[in-house]
A = this chain, B = another copy of it.
Amino acid sequence: MSIELDKITIKTALTSCLGRDFLAFEGSEDFVADLSAHAEEVRVQTGDYLFKEDDPVKHGYISISGSFMLERATSEGTRHIFAFVFTGSLLGFSEQHHFTFSAKALSESAAIKVNMTFIEELFDKYPEIAKRVHNKTNKILSMILDQLFVLGQKTAHQRIAIFLLGMLKQIGNQQNTFLLTMARRDVADYVGMSIETCSRGLSKLSKQGIISIKDNYIVTVLDEERLVEFASK
């Protein structure tokens, strides 16, 4: 059971979790050695689960490639999607006994898997790491607050526009085209509306020339300014 810390995907993920200089604090070499010896890389096929709701939390995970969606089932058989996560997100690092949501792979994905009791040991041994993970947790909390805010907004079109702006932000400033890795149904369950309303919202944005959609999943934002405007009314 070990991982290769030289892999670029793993380095990128850890940098995102622990900060750019996570290899440079005092004692970091020991930490790296410890981690690579005790962590394990798991691969998940499209549509399969990294873990499921109500599973006991035996491991923490760090996503290193592909993408996952975090979902919770409702009592009526529908579901809600909390988040789409990409590289470098922490999953299950809380001290809860059971997961309160599932992580489903949207594409062929991979994650690092670390035993929870070992994580505790790492935190005790390397307070610097505990601190950085704590920071990351706070960032995640802040992202979830933003999403909470979005869902509090009343109109559906607004929420779709904000969703698209979020995707844009995630890929960085350079590009304005991105691939939606998730199905319409997933987007709808994320922003809290029916598939049809979601589809209509996207169509409307298309017709107005604010975005263009190719092959159902390739979205180009043509007029970000108007999209922002659309998001706030």
A interface list, Cβ under 8 A from B? 72, 74-76, 80-82, 93-96, 100-101, 123-124, 127, 130-131, 133-135, 137-142, 144-149, 151-154, 189, 192-193, 232-233
Residue pair B232, A141 in contact (C-beta under 8 Å): no
Q: Whose C-beta in chain B lies nearest to the C-beta of A191?
A: B152
Assembly CA distance A148 to B71 (angstroms): 11
Given A82-B148, A152-B189, 8 new contacts (CB under 8 A): A74-B153, A82-B145, A95-B138, A134-B134, A137-B138, A144-B145, A147-B148, A148-B148
Residue pair B145, A100 in contact (C-beta under 8 Å): yes
Q: Whose C-beta in chain B lies nearest to the C-beta of A192?
A: B152
Residue pair A134, B130 in contact (C-beta under 8 Å): yes
Picked from B93, B144, B232, the residue with its CB within 8 Å of the CB of A144 is: B144
Residue pair A96, B137 in contact (C-beta under 8 Å): no
Residue pair A149, B96 in contact (C-beta under 8 Å): no
Which residues of chain B are within 8 angstroms of A142 by Cβ–Cβ distance?
A: 94, 96, 100
Residue pair B95, A153 in contact (C-beta under 8 Å): no
Picked from B94, B123, B152, the residue with its CB within 8 Å of the CB of A80 is: B152
Q: Whose C-beta in chain B lies nearest to the C-beta of A124?
A: B127
Which residues of chain B are within 8 angstroms of A94 by Cβ–Cβ distance?
A: 135, 138-139, 141-142
Which residues of chain B are within 8 angstroms of A76 by Cβ–Cβ distance?
A: 232-233
A81 to chain B, nearest CB (A): 8
A98 to chain B, nearest CB (A): 11
Q: 17 A-B Cβ contacts within 8 A?
A: A76-B232, A95-B135, A100-B142, A100-B145, A127-B127, A127-B130, A130-B131, A137-B138, A137-B141, A141-B141, A141-B144, A144-B144, A151-B151, A151-B192, A152-B189, A154-B192, A154-B193
A205 to chain B, nearest CB (A): 18
A82, A137, A149, A233: most-surrounded residue (chain B CB, <10 A): A149
Which residues of chain B are within 8 angstroms of A233 by Cβ–Cβ distance?
A: 76
A15 to chain B, nearest CB (A): 17
A123, A131, A139, A146: most-surrounded residue (chain B CB, <10 A): A131
